Structure 1
Amino acid sequence: MDLERLVLSVSYPGIFAIVLVETGFLVGFALPGDSLLIAVGLLAAAHKISLPLALAALFVGSFLGNNLGYWWGLRLGPALERRVRREELEKAYALFRRFGVLAIFIAPWVPVVRALVPFVAGATRIPWPRFVALTFFSSLLWTQGLTLLAYYVGRLIPDLEKYVYLVLLAGALFGVLMGLPRLLRRRQAEKSE
């Protein structure tokens, strides 16, 4: 099933649930977070779904999912390390070490980390009021920002929703190209050691 048909068939409750599960449960790694937001924006630009309803469903799903993930982190604590691959969990911990609680604000923009950070925040007992404030703004910026960007591009280029996979492929290629200099610097540093 392609992404357009998925979004149209599950409608607003479905896109709410997909984002909620992605950010609120550890099974969310396989869900199409960024791809879903882009597809929703393009479909709204093509007048196939309502932009305000979609934005509301995405935001509420993300915000509630993050808080659910925080709650699971409080409950699971150290057991989290037994349930998640070590290298994936280490990415989330590294983000916390580097950025502190601002990692909560950055996490939605990093696909695998997006699903882990709420759990890690709960497991490390970051104060819930601080978590709520940061996750409110990060959920708002991620869901509204990426969806509205896709909506804007979809309005500029008619029928772009028909090529959603090409758009996503171009986005992935752009991400790889942006990360390539860092990877090359890291490899060069490893060789010089």
Structure 2
Amino acid sequence: MDQFDWKQLLNPEFYILLELGGIKIGLYVVLFIVFAETGLLAGFFLPGDSLLFLCGIYSEALMKEFSTGSDFLNVTFLAASISVMGILGNMLGYWFGSKSGTYLYKREDSFFFKKKYLFQSKDFFEKYGGKAVVFARFLPIFRTFAPVIAGIVAMDKKKFMFYNILGSILWSYVMIFAGHYLHKLFLSQFNIDLTHYIEFIVIGIVLVTTIPVLMKLLKKKA
């Protein structure tokens, strides 16, 4: 039996290909992670964007037990399932913010919670308003706290749900379809299997999604 390496927890491929007693549970783990990113305030260390991109690449394996026989429908249903979990996670985050928002500002920092991210997300939300719920979906850290901030500032529930649904659908479909069809394109046109370059893909996506965050922080300090 291979020795478990804790570094695997930062590797999106680990979750997708995870097995328990010989049963593939990757799909269920992915759905839980998407929910946990916002619903359980644990998103700052979970591999969100890169996870969805890789879900597109590994969509056939993820949807094996629920295959429709159509490649397009499988990817569509996968993206739809993930978007639903994203919507539910945001709803829980909003509820938590509306019920105990003041508690978060007094809470001490821990491994799962960093107060500074809360304040940064609040500034981001105040700058972009309701659209922040959509924008935050594509930005690590911010997507974790955006629905909480919406709850704290008592954003209109109907308005929040509109942006919540829109953002979750855009995020899941863009990332998953991009991963799925770029993988097919590179394989058919250039004979390049993207599954052999997972580490580079993950690093690339992390850089692309975190650079806007870092630029914002640097401007704020300047």
Whether TM-score is above 0.5 comes out as yes
- Corresponding residue of 2:81: 57
* Map 1:25-174 → 2, pairs under 5 A: 25-44=40-59, 47-50=60-63, 51-83=75-107, 84-158=113-187, 159-174=193-208
Specify the SS of the correspondent of 2:62: coil
Q: How many residues align?
A: 186
Using CA pairs under 8 Å that are at least 6 residues apart, name the structure with larger relative contact order, 1 or 2.
1
Q: Does the 8 Å contact 1:23/1:118 carry over to 2?
A: yes
Specify the SS of the correspondent of 1:125: coil
- 1:149 offset after TM fit, Å? 1.1
- 1:91 offset after TM fit, Å? 1.5
- 1:82 offset after TM fit, Å? 2.4
* 1:117–1:42 distance in 2 versus 1, CA, 3 Å: same
* 1:17–1:169 distance in 2 versus 1, CA, 3 Å: same
- Corresponding residue of 2:3: none
Structure 1 segments of 4 or more deviating over 6 A? 176-180
- 1:86 offset after TM fit, Å? 3.4
> What amino acid is aligned across from residue 53 of structure 2 in structure 1?
I
Once residues 147 and 106 of structure 1 are traced to their aligned partners in structure 2, the CA distance between those partners, rounded to angstroms, is 17
CA RMSD, 1 decimal: 2.5
Query: Which protein is richer in helix relative to its size?
Result: 1
Specify the SS of the correspondent of 1:29: coil
Unmatched segments (≥5 aa) in structure 2: 1-7, 19-24, 64-74, 108-112, 188-192
TM-score calculated relative to the size of structure 1: 0.85
Q: Deviations over 1:1-54 (max 9, x none)?
A: 45334213233222111100111112232211112101101112xx33332342
Unmatched segments (≥5 aa) in structure 1: none
Once residues 109 and 173 of structure 1 are traced to their aligned partners in structure 2, the CA distance between those partners, rounded to angstroms, is 12
TM-score calculated relative to the size of structure 2: 0.74
Once residues 89 and 179 of structure 1 are traced to their aligned partners in structure 2, the CA distance between those partners, rounded to angstroms, is 13
- 1:85 offset after TM fit, Å? 2.9
